[in-house]
Amino acid sequence: MAVEVPGEVRRIAEDIKTMRIRGAGRIARAAARALMIAAQEYNSGGLDEFLAYMEDVARLLVSTRPTAVSLPNAVNYVMRVLRENRFQSLEDARRAVVEAARGFIEYSEQAVKRIGEIGARLIRTGDRILTHCNSSAVESILVTAWRSGKRFHVYATETRPRFQGYITARNLAKAGIPVTLVPDSAVLQVIETKRITRVIVGADTVTANGAVINKIGTSQIALAARLHRVSFIVATETYKFSPYTVVGQPVEIEERPPEEVLENPPPGIRIRNPAFDATPPEYIDMIVTERGIIPPKSAALVLWEMFRRSPAEVHQLRVEEDSTG
């Protein structure tokens, strides 16, 4: 019989699903923490049962939201220690999971900080910066630049239907940064009349060809920025680069409940609520990562460096995941 998943782990999975825990980086760290808790709380059998149970937990976590690849990348990073090693005892296996999860969380936190330092160098006093949704990588850049004495103004979109732009506006205001909240539909007008100098957004997934999957509306903003020759910058940790796209697997765009758009739609009206869209590499000037700034066309190189797997190996990995799923 399958071992029961601890309540706290199920709660984390539910919180990711319902977006109480949100943001691609936070989701990844929460998933790593959930695997750590699952390993620590396991007390009902031997090593083989433990391995099967951890695979169950991994599947539960990965199934919560489909788009941000940071989630399966974090889970696979931790699970790889179990999948690729032979352990003599349950305690050794448990310890390896806890260490890997801690390692991932630490790396991720440092990466966001490093992106802040690297990206802050791009900001100039006098900039008028537009951002969309809420990205901790973008916030890290803006807050670091501000603390280093640069003075600028940020325009934050509301980001319907979940209004994550309010989180951004609140956090920036708290840091003392002048911020103006604007409706999503005002983007072109704001870029034009406020003479925006830079757009900076986060990412949920970066594909092998350098396209960026981010909060719905990002691609429209990229188009508007292109129209006015405003540089379009993406800030992201490298674990949001998708190894699956190396073999051409499309990124699934999450479709969220219609009630998020309209609670009680009048009869006869259908509602669609896609949560993300894809911005092609041609519209992206640079991607700021913890490893440095790259042009979007170099995404495949980053993937190769990180995973060091040939396309055939990635394909095999996917097949194995699917068959255990």
Which residues are part of a known binding site for substrate?
A: 22-25, 65, 214-215, 240
CB of 94 to ligand RI2, least distance (A): 29
Q: Which stretch binds ligand RI2 (CB under 6 A): 83-91, 201-209, 262-270, 310-318?
A: 201-209
Contacts of 298 (CB under 8 A, 6+ apart): 210
| 67/76 with CB nearer ligand RI2 | 67
Of 82 and 101, which has the nearer Cβ to ligand RI2?
101
Which sequence positions are flagged as catalytic? Answer: 133, 204
32 binds ligand RI2, rule: CB under 6 A: no
Q: Does 219 bind ligand RI2 (CB under 6 A)?
A: no
- Residue 229 backbone class (left: φ over 0; alpha: ψ -120 to 50; beta: rest): left
SS3 call for 129: strand
As measured in angstroms, the least distance from the Cβ of 29 to ligand RI2 is 9
The 10 Å CB-count burial string (b at 16+, else e) for 197-217 is bbbbbbbbbbbbebbbbbbbb
Is residue 23 involved in binding ligand RI2 (CB under 6 A)? yes
Pick 165 or 281: Cβ nearer ligand RI2: 165
Q: Which is nearer to ligand RI2, 135 or 157 (CB)?
A: 135
Choices 130-138, 146-154, 190-198, 307-315; region in contact with ligand RI2 by CB under 6 A: 130-138
Cβ-defined contacts of 59-62 (< 8 Å, 24+): 59/324, 59/325, 60/5, 60/9, 60/10, 60/13, 61/12, 61/13, 61/16, 61/31, 61/34, 61/35, 62/31
- How far is CA 192 from each of CA 179, 226, 248, 300, rounded to the nearest angstrom? 17, 12, 37, 34
Give the torsion sign (CA, 84, 89, 90, 95): negative
62, 101, 133, 233: which one contacts ligand RI2 (CB under 6 A)? 133
CA distances in angstroms from 105 to 8, 25, 36, 70, 137, listed in the order given: 18, 10, 11, 12, 15
Q: Does 73 bind ligand RI2 (CB under 6 A)?
A: no
* Cα-only R_g, the chain: 20
Which parts are annotated binding residues?
Answer: 22-25, 65, 214-215, 240
Q: 75-114 mask for ligand RI2 (x: CB under 6 A)?
A: ----------------------------------------
Going through 139-178 in order, the beta strands assigned E by DSSP cover: 153-157
Close Cβ partners of 207 (under 8 Å, ≥ 6 residues apart): 213, 242, 245, 251, 278, 299
What would the two tokens of residue 320 be? Answer: 């194995």
Q: Which stretch binds ligand RI2 (CB under 6 A): 6-14, 35-43, 56-64, 135-143?
A: 135-143
Q: Rule CB under 6 A: say whether 25 interacts with ligand RI2.
A: yes
Per-position x/- string for 159-198, each x denoting binding to ligand RI2 as judged by CB under 6 A, each - no binding? -----x----------------------------------
Q: Name the one range near ligand RI2 by CB under 6 A: 117-125, 179-187, 202-210, 317-325.
A: 202-210
Q: Which chain residues interact with ligand RI2 by CB under 6 A?
A: 22-26, 133, 135-137, 164, 201-204, 214-215, 275
